[in-house]
Each structure stands twice: as structure tokens, then as C-alpha cells.
A = this chain, B = another copy of it.
Amino acid sequence: MSDVGTGENLLFLTDEQLRQGIEAMFFAYRGFTADPDRILTGMAYGRAHHRAIHFINRAPGTTVNNLLILLGVTKQSLNRVLRTLIEDGLVESRVGVSDKRERNLYLTDAGQELERKLSDAQRARMRAAYRAAGPQAVAGFRQVLEAMMDPEMRRKYHALRESGA
């Protein structure tokens, strides 16, 4: 397509190339969040609820503290979101088994239903992009994204893959 990374091109790290990468991230992230955002508009929920639901689904039984770190928000901020989800019967909070101070979080059936609805939309876009770009491009995509993460988040990302795979 362009001259980016055609083989051994040593100039692929010019400022211009990097700026284009920055803009690509910006515009792509807009697309990435657009579909679930549209679904959530009209419901009483926003992107923060989506994120909480996603990770509770992904790591069932996770504690509040773990979710806090995963999402990179404060306790107070998460609590507001979590409270409404629990009140609305989408999330269940069970007292920890080994440590009764902890709360283990699970999606209820209704929670799982919303999760599927949201992730269906997001995965459809992801799937279309993956198909259009091809397997080799997907591998590169994942490599660059991973290299862009903060080390701590990269660990969290890998931990999810191990439990979820």
C-alpha cells in the first residue's frame, strides 16, 4: 500500500511515519469504541460500565481490587459503576471464600446477555478488520500493540490470556 515497512526499509522510523501511526491509533480507537457506545446510548450505562462488564466476564470471580488495577481507575470511580450494575442485577458480588474481606464479582444471566450484545458489535468490527488485513497483518498488529503497553499492563494482558485461553 504505502512504503511502510517494505522489507528492510531503514527509514520507517521517520517522524512522519510515527505521526501517521499516532493518527492511525486515534482514528482506529474511535471506530473501536463506536459500536458499543451506540448501543449504550439510551441505556443508563456508558463506556465505564462496558469495561467493567467486559473484564468481569473475562475473569469471573475477580476481586474489586484486581478490577481496579485492570481498569486503571480509583476505587470511588469503579464503585459508582459497580453499584449500579449490582443494583440492576447485571453483576453479582459474593463474599470471598478464603478471604472474607474480598468480594468476588460475577455476571448474572442478564449481565452475560448485555456482555454478549456489546462484544458482538465490537467483535464484528474486529473480525472485519482482521479479515480485510489478513493473518500476517494481524500478527504484526498484535506485536506492535503489545510493545506499546506499559510493562505492568502487559503482564495483566498476558494473565488474562492464560486464564481465558
- Residues in B neighbouring A136, C-beta threshold 8 A: 5, 7, 136, 140
- Among B18, B29, B128, the residue within 8 A (CB) of A29 is B29
Q: A6-B139, A140-B137, A141-B144 are in contact. Are A150 and B31 (CB under 8 A)?
A: yes
| Identical copies of this chain, number | 2
Q: A19-B58, A21-B130, A143-B1 are in contact. Are A138 and B29 (CB under 8 A)?
A: no
Residue of B nearest to A165 (CB): B16
- Among B19, B133, B147, B156, the residue within 8 A (CB) of A144 is B133
Query: What sequence of 0s and 1s flags, for each residue 66-102 of chain A, a beta carbon within 8 Å of any chain B beta carbon?
Result: 0000001000000000000000000000000000000
- Residues in B neighbouring A58, C-beta threshold 8 A: 19, 23
- Residues in B neighbouring A110, C-beta threshold 8 A: none
Residue of B nearest to A146 (CB): B24
Q: Are A22 and B119 in contact (CB under 8 A)?
A: yes
Q: A123-B15, A140-B138, A140-B141 are in contact. Are A25 and B21 (CB under 8 A)?
A: no
Q: A6-B139, A19-B119, A138-B144 are in contact. List 20 more A-B contacts (CB 8 A).
A: A5-B136, A6-B135, A7-B135, A7-B136, A8-B135, A12-B130, A12-B135, A13-B131, A18-B127, A19-B58, A21-B126, A21-B130, A22-B54, A27-B145, A27-B156, A28-B148, A128-B147, A132-B147, A133-B140, A137-B144
